[in-house]
Amino acid sequence: MAAACSFRSVARAPLPLRRGFARRRGPRCCSAAPPSGGGATSSTASSSKLVLEVKERLEREHPGLPTGRNGRDDEEMILWFLKDRKFSVDETVSKLTKAIKWRQDFRLSELSEESVKGLYQTGKAYVHDSFDIYGRPVLVVVASKHFPSKQDPVENEKLCAFLVEKALSRLPLGTENILGIFDLRGFQVENGDLQFLKFLIDVFYYYYPKRLGQVLFVDAPFVFQPMWQLVKPLLKQYASLVRFCDVETVRKEYFTEETLGEYQNHRD
C-alpha cells in the first residue's frame, strides 16, 4: 500500500546503536498515594507504610526474588504497582511477584543492544529520538517489516522488551508513560502475528502496567481489520487507548513543528 507521505517525516529510522540504555531523566513512578483525609503528610505516610508492607511480604514469601533495581525491594516500583492495584497489598504482591519473576526468567537484565542488533537493524521497531508534544518517549513499530514466518519469535520478544525498557529509561521528570505508534502502511497478511500481539498485551498489562499512555494505528489498510477484530477483545478496557489515524494526524497532533523540521530531510 503506497503512503501519501513518508512516516519518517515524523519518526526517523533508528539511530546508530549506542552501548547501554539511555540515561533515565526522571523517576520511574510518580508520588501517588492512597486517598486519605489527613492531607498530604498523612497520605505520604500511608503510602510509605504500604510500600514497606509489600516489601516485607515479598522478602518473607519470595526470598528467592532478586533485589536492587526492579527487584523485590525496589520501593519506586512497589509504589507504582500499588498505584496500579489501587493500593491493595494482596493484589500488588501477586502482580509484582509475577512481574519480577518474568524479568528474571526472561533474563531482561542480560539484554543488550548487541544482543538485539540483528532485528533492530531491520528497522521494524525503534525508540524515536524525540518526544511527542506531551513529553512522552515514543516507541515505533513498522508492521510491514515484521515477518513472523521468517523471524525468530523469541528474538522478536527480546527486541520488544529491550525497546520498552529503553523507552521507559528516557521518561522525563513528571512523565509517567510512553506513546506507541504502529505504522501500518504496507501491512499485508504475512505481517500479521497474533501471538506476538498477545505477548505485547501481556507485557504492558502484567509487567509494565499503565506505562503505555496511548497507541496510534497509523494508516491501517483494510487487510488489517480481521487482525484488529481478534485483538480488540483481548485488550478489554484498554482498547480505549487505541486511536486509528493517518500519518498527517500524527505529524500535526503529536509532534511540534520544530520536531518535524528535524525530519524534513529524512523522507524515503
Domain ranges of the chain: 46-108, 113-266
Residue 203 carries which DSSP code? I
Contact 244, 215 (CB under 8 A): no
C-alpha to C-alpha distances, 150 to 28, 38, 79, 155, 195, nearest whole angstrom: 36, 59, 41, 11, 14
Model pLDDT, residue 236? 86
**For the CA atoms of 7, 255, 113, 218, what is the dihedral angle to 10 degrees?**
-40
Contact 136, 177 (CB under 8 A): yes
Topology (CATH level 3) of domain 113-266: Phosphatidylinositol Transfer Protein Sec14p (3.40.525)
- In CATH, the architecture of 46-108 is Orthogonal Bundle (1.10)
179 forms beta bridges with 138, 214
Pairwise CA distance, residues 82 & 5, whole Å: 43
Q: What is the pLDDT of residues 96-111, one digit of tens each?
A: 999 999 999 999 999 9
pTM: 0.81
> 125-127 and 242-245: which strand pairing?
unpaired
Contact 70, 103 (CB under 8 A): yes
Instruction: Count each helix (H run) and each strand (E run) in the chain, helices first.
Output: 9, 5
Q: What is the pLDDT of residues 185-225, one digit of tens each?
A: 999 999 999 999 999 999 999 999 999 999 999 999 999 99
Q: Per mean pLDDT, which range of 123-127, 134-138, 235-239 is the poorest?
A: 235-239
Percent of the chain at pLDDT above 70? 80
